[in-house]
Chains A and B, each alone.
Chain A
Amino acid sequence: MLVCGMAWGQSAPELTLEQSAIGAVSDEQSAPMQPSVLTDAAAESGASASAEAALQPEAAGARDTEATMSGTTDRTAAAAASANDSAGAVSGAEVPATAQEQQPPASSQAAGAEAPTPDEAVGTDSAGDAAAVASGPEPPSLAAALAKLTDRSFKVKEQAAADIAASGDPRAAEFLKALLEGDLYYRRDDNRIVYAERTSGGWALTDALTGDDLGSVGSRDARKITINNRMRSALRTDIAALTLASPDPAQRLSAAKEMMGDVDDTGVAALRAQLAQEEDPQVRDAIELALAVAGLQAESPAERMAAVQALGTSLYPEARNALDDLIGTEQDPAVLAAAEAARADMAQRVKNMRRLETVFFGLSLGSVLVLAAIGLAITFGVMGVINMAHGELIMIGAYTTYLVQLAMPNAIDWSLFVAIPAAFLVAGLFGVAIERGVIRFLYGRPLETLLATFGLSLILQQLVRTTISAQNVIVENPSWMSGSLQLNPALSLTFNRLYIFVFALLVFVALLLVLKRTALGLQVRAVSQNRAMARAMGVRSARVDALTFGLGAGIAGVAGVALSQLTNVGPNMGQAYIIDSFMVVVFGGVGNLWGTLVGGLTLGVANKFMEPWTGAVLAKILVLVFIILFIQWRPRGLFPQRGRAAEG
């Protein structure tokens, strides 16, 4: 029934594929199997035959020859049969040369490792190649290796990439990087490897080898060279080995990190050579760590001891895993004790980092809650209006971001700075209109306000559905919102969450200043505390009501800009936040901005600390239950408003 999968699972249970692949390839220097398989694959795909036609004869042939080979064979054929175009299959004649470069020692090394990942397998791959370079007659030619990249079989391409790395050509690293980044293309009529740049209606090509300008071609005449996961990790290791001596310290650092836990003897030698001349302290540390991780497998206990001590309490996962491996096999009691002590320290440090991380996650979730709730803290907290359309005002802010991005497609990085004031204005105007059109007739009648604003929320959702789309829209992340701030190997904070946390605090401070330091703020507070008295003092309470509601709505719009960076923007997005917002305001204390801030952050952190035990679904339920109980105990929330007006 499960034809391939089951067959492999049973035929080679204790060998992972990488081992079997390498073992098979290197053992068969005399056997003609590998070349013939690839020839078949190339021929089949050249004729663009159907997938199963290509698969059957090869799978059968491979199983006859060697059971463990079948995985590789099927994969090659499947990849070949599935690739898109029929041009450019490399003839099988070139294949034997590449197969011979695999040296037998490489496979025995791989088989000795406990759990070879693709990286490890590839590491031994390149070791084999390096040996071939040292002892063989001549390194593979760069041009020939590049030509093989146009093949449709990932296996052939993988070999081609290894050949490029082994070519010794100074441009090798450059080509491998271009391949990894997806910048290498080939021209379809003559399979020439090129760099391609998008122009209107096609590609501008540059010959990759010679740098000649090849003019432009139509968009269908150049094709990207696709790579798969195995190739990607192989490329990273190869690039690391090639860039360890790069003049750029950043490249050296990433090379040293990439090689950590993944080096063989040649790699160790290269690391030592680099360490001798390395001046950058960060790179030195990384190289020393990489050497220490490798040193854990040294022959003499003294060397292993030194390696354990050199590792110290490193936070790199590679260091922890290497120590775990060591603890499993170590015979020398002194080294074992040192390793176990170091491992325990590491575990403690990682645990602390994880706690810090959870706090950050909680604060980040809390800041989202605060942003969503703070507008409501004005309309509900200060004015006492139960505004069920609050979530939809957030949605309007998010859609404003979308429209701003549509209007400035070439400046996505700047779009948010335009979107923030735009969303404030748009949502604010909606707010004023809602207050003037509906809510002012319903003051003092909370139930009717609730129903009317709920109806409004449905109207607003439908408005977006009919004018824009019922489906979610794409709001892009500016480049500075992507990625994370790496504090150390065990702790990194994502930029989008970090910025939104800061942004939430800024919005909070700004709102506080408006309420405490401006004339409008004074009037708002006066009206909310005692409407009749404020009117007697000459405050136009109707105008203040409209402006206050507009302010709350505008803040909701600004929250929508922030949320558009975190979640999906669709007509229903507001509903996800309305309950949370009310929860925060009620928990924090109605009418108190500080309560909203503290309440939101507390709920966020509590949620995140509960999530690992209970799962995301139950954590939310528990928080809700907690709030219900809390309100029983303190009906006015964390920071109740005091004074006659509040109690009256």
Chain B
Amino acid sequence: MRNPLPLWSTISRRKSFVLAAALTVGLSGGLAHAEEEGEATEAAGDETIKVGVLHSLSGTMAISETTLKDTMLMLIEQQNEKGGLLGKQLEPVVVDPASDWPLFAEKARELLDQEKVAAVFGCWTSVSRKSVLPVFEELNGLLFYPVQYEGEESSRNVFYTGAAPNQQAIPAVDYLKDELGVERWVLAGTDYVYPRTTNKILEAYLKQNGVADEDIMINYTPFGHSDWQSIVADIKQFGSEGKKTAVVSTINGDANVPFYKELGNQGISAEDIPVVAFSVGEEELSGIDTKPLVGHLAAWNYFMSVPTDENDAFIETWHTFIEDEDRVTNDPMEAHKIGFDLWVKAVEKAGSTDPDAVIDAIVGLETKNLTGGTAKMLPNHHITKPVLIGEIQEDGQFAVVWQTDEEVPGDAWSDYLEGSKDLKGDWTDPVNCGNYNTKTEECLGAEAAE
């Protein structure tokens, strides 16, 4: 729908990107190295390396995903300013799957089959990832998936740069339980795979921690749900029965706006019933009046308000690129930056964009994250991340109130679910399996993926 190519054509931007490139420290080491090896790659003949961007630019998920498309264009432009990759320029190929899950699979096939992209950065909802997964496995493509998700998956062709449940949901529940003394739980989510699996894990975890059945309320709503009055009234009632109550929200997309509005209208403040959200970040908040939301929580691995030099530089680059000082940064943007850095490093290490070479090269590579730590690609294709809990402030930013003291390694298979606690993903030799059973010591293979 939109042509991404003219983006690096203006002179003023070019200038700013020299600055931006200088500020980014993570990649500078590999640059000269890359240029030397550029001649030697076997993919001669192509003048550019194509990078696919698979994010919804319309429909219910556009609110979240459009920014990620812009982030990818920025990262690619930045890399090109530094001389490209393997001596070639990177060329973004942007498609719009329009929040339509089957269309994601079609567009993924188009990117891999016709455009012959070297890697794809994309997807937000788990249902879209599940829909493209068979395509990437069949055509041996590479997908970098930047959003927190429900786990229970480890594919050879996918790199999960967002949080697994043990890097977001479980620590958030620990925070509520231990710091705020929460005893009753509302697990509210949109009706699809991520909230359902996450809530299943959380329910098992809470019950193992001695929470009774009647102290857990689970509720699902359709995508784009707008009539929240009775659900919010139920939550209010559930929370007025004496025990400290909190809502763990896996509500996704634009349904959050009327949900928080209704909370505000029915007079539920964060001191009474805090809502901790896993899908609401700076981007989602920039669209609504945050006054009634002040004090509600979100758990992420990055907040725009984190005061590190890397983050300041990233925000400055972003503002220069998007030509708008008011635009915010958020967690999936950081995940895309980490994923892109790791992919670049892996391609440089392998000296090729060949998927098999990249898959072999990328495990164990490290890059700096924006919160002052290190992100490392693990054998299960997840990365290490710090966990941060933030309270919503009136300006739509988060004040960090809690964080883990070191990075948490992403766990593909939850330790709290029967049938998944013995599994592990390991894509290095000799295991080379996404669902290896450590007890029976055998790989379950593709047919057991569900």
Contact = CB atoms under 8 A, between A and B. Distances in A.
Pairing of A with B: yes
Interface of A: 1-6, 8-9, 12, 16-18, 48, 50-52, 55-56, 59, 71, 74-75, 78-79, 81-85, 115-119, 154, 182, 224, 226, 228-229, 232-233, 236, 317, 320-321, 324-325, 354, 357-358, 361, 364-365, 368, 465, 470-472, 474, 476-477, 482-484, 486, 492, 494-497, 566-568, 570-572, 576, 608, 611-612, 615-617, 620
Q: Which 8 A-B pairs have the closest CB atoms?
A: A5-B174, A82-B400, A321-B242, A567-B226, A317-B240, A16-B181, A50-B372, A55-B405
B181 A494 contact: no
**Main secondary structure on chain B at its contact with chain A?**
loop
Q: How big is the B interface, by class?
A: 35 or more
A50 B174 CA distance: 23
Given A78-B401, A494-B262, A612-B234, 4 more contacts: A2-B404, A51-B371, A52-B386, A226-B393
Nearest to B226: A567
Contacts of B307: 48, 82-85
17 contacts: A3-B405, A4-B404, A59-B405, A82-B400, A82-B403, A85-B307, A115-B183, A228-B391, A229-B271, A357-B233, A474-B287, A474-B288, A484-B265, A494-B229, A494-B266, A572-B60, A617-B220
Interface of B: 1, 57-60, 62-63, 66, 166, 170-171, 174-175, 177-181, 183, 191, 209, 219-222, 224-227, 229-231, 233-234, 237, 240-244, 254, 257-258, 261-262, 264-267, 269-271, 274, 287-289, 292, 294-295, 305-308, 371-373, 386, 388, 391, 393-395, 399-406, 408-409, 411
Contact of B270 (A1, A59, A232): A232
A276 to B, nearest CB: 31
Contacts of A75: 179, 401-402
Given A3-B408, A17-B179, A229 B295 contact: yes
Contact of B271 (A1, A233, A617): A233
B258 A567 contact: yes
A115 B262 contact: no
Contacts, number: 221
A568 B400 contact: no
Contacts of A229: 180, 270-271, 274, 295, 391
Nearest to A567: B226
Contact of B287 (A116, A154, A236, A472): A472
A634 B260 CA distance: 41
Nearest to A55: B405
B222 A78 contact: no
B257 A568 contact: yes
Given A2-B170, A84-B307, A232-B295, A617 B179 contact: no
Contacts of A79: 400-402
A1 B384 CA distance: 11
A281 B113 CA distance: 77
B313 to A, nearest CB: 15
Contacts of B180: 17, 118, 229
Nearest to A608: B230
B178 A5 contact: yes
B271 A470 contact: no
B183 to A, nearest CB: 7
Nearest to B234: A612
A228 B230 contact: no
A227 to B, nearest CB: 9
A325 B229 CA distance: 30
Contact of B254 (A16, A364, A570): A570
Contacts of B395: 224
A486 B266 CA distance: 9
B177 A9 contact: yes
Contacts of A85: 307
Given A59-B405, A465-B58, A115 B242 contact: yes
Contacts of B271: 118-119, 229, 232-233, 236
B226 A6 contact: no
A79 B294 CA distance: 17
Contact of B411 (A1, A115, A232): A1
A48 B307 CA distance: 8
Contact of A52 (B59, B262, B405): B405
Contacts of B166: 1-2
Contacts of B288: 474
A198 to B, nearest CB: 12
A484 B267 contact: yes
Contacts of B58: 465, 470-471, 571
Given A3-B406, A361-B230, A615 B258 contact: no
